[in-house]
Amino acid sequence: MIIGVPKEIKESEYRVAITPAGVTMLVAAGHQVVVEKSAGEGSGFPDEDYLREGASIEDSAAAVWAAADMIMKVKEPLPEEYGYFKQNLLLFTYLHLAASPGLTKELVEKQVTAIAYETIQLDNGSLPLLTPMSEVAGRMSVQVGAQFLEAFNGGRGVLLGGVPGVPPAEVVIIGGGIVGVNAARMALGLGANVVVIEKSADRMRALDDMHRGQLRTLMSSPYHIAEAVSKADLVIGAVLIPGAKAPHLVTEDMVKRMRKGTVIVDVAVDQGGSIATVDRPTTHKNPIYVKHDVIHYAVANIPGAVPRTSTFALTNVTMPYVLELANHGMYEVTMSKPLQRGVNTHAGTVMNEQVAAATNMNYISFSNWADSATGNLPQP
């Protein structure tokens, strides 16, 4: 198989979908890897590193997309890339289609097989390809929140950890998943008072156990959320429903009651955002806007700010799946439940129920398609 790795074009996105070590693995398995010129430079990988491991370098994105049977990316394709789509292309990347009906429509019309990192799910419910970026985003959410709490950035002028005789900041984290856990760890490490709002009683018990009573947990409800955010200095939206749009748990009325200079960091913005006033994504170059006197940080690719760390963390978990797809293609998908859950579009249809519901498109389950197609697929 020919695997193509174009350069990311999302603003301030410096990650790359493969490391030179990943090229070594694919070439050793008999595959070809085509990398766009300077695709890895933002993560500290010059073209020479890829050439040394057996990849070829193309000067343009068009040449990479045209040559490839499978495209590896980090972020979802942007409209400038839609023209490269072709029938039977295998696209493997973060997609977040529930918040992107236009991209979903293009993938369906061009009959692209699009497998989303964020919906590959193990039988225990974990999301192995989303986890490392959620870890990075959770930790960074506190880092950037602390930065924008500083007065010259328009914040309340509050130090997260306080000092002797002065109380620390109040940090409210909505969601106790991977993002929430990592945000809590960072905030506690800086000395903040931390509240995690979560809907699962079992998860709250686990968090309490994990942090030995250092943080407080609250059962998710409109009342608890409204009360907590009204007292907060920093609010972190860390809600995830795999494949689906994030629910708006913090309403606009709640934001209006927050104190001037409070900071919101909505990590769920690429899934539509969990804060009602997060009405648009921002970028690393222009990361914030102010609404109702509250600072909103809504960068959709937070881990892109630390591309070297993020690229290593991401490719550590994606490469086993890349090898399986390169070796066996769609036959491997029919054999692997986690990969089946990752398929968002294939053969001109949407195969993720949450994406179909969010984009008002027809849904066909992968298992129904596979029952009729398996016998026609090439054997590995």
Catalytic center residues: 96, 270
Query: What sign for the dihedral angle of Cα 346, 348, 349, 355?
Result: positive
134-to-176, 190, 196 alpha-carbon distances in Å: 12, 19, 16
17-to-44, 74, 216, 249, 271 alpha-carbon distances in Å: 13, 5, 38, 33, 21
Do residues 240 and 267 lie in contact, with contact meaning Cβ atoms separated by under 8 Å? no
Query: What sign for the dihedral angle of Cα 140, 143, 146, 147?
Result: negative
The rounded distance, in Å, linking the Cα atoms of 325 and 375 is 18
352 residue type, one letter: N
The rounded distance, in Å, linking the Cα atoms of 313 and 178 is 14
In the chain, how long is the greatest CA-to-CA distance? 72
Overall residue count recorded for the chain in this entry: 380
The rounded distance, in Å, linking the Cα atoms of 284 and 24 is 32
116-to-74, 177, 237, 330 alpha-carbon distances in Å: 10, 19, 22, 14
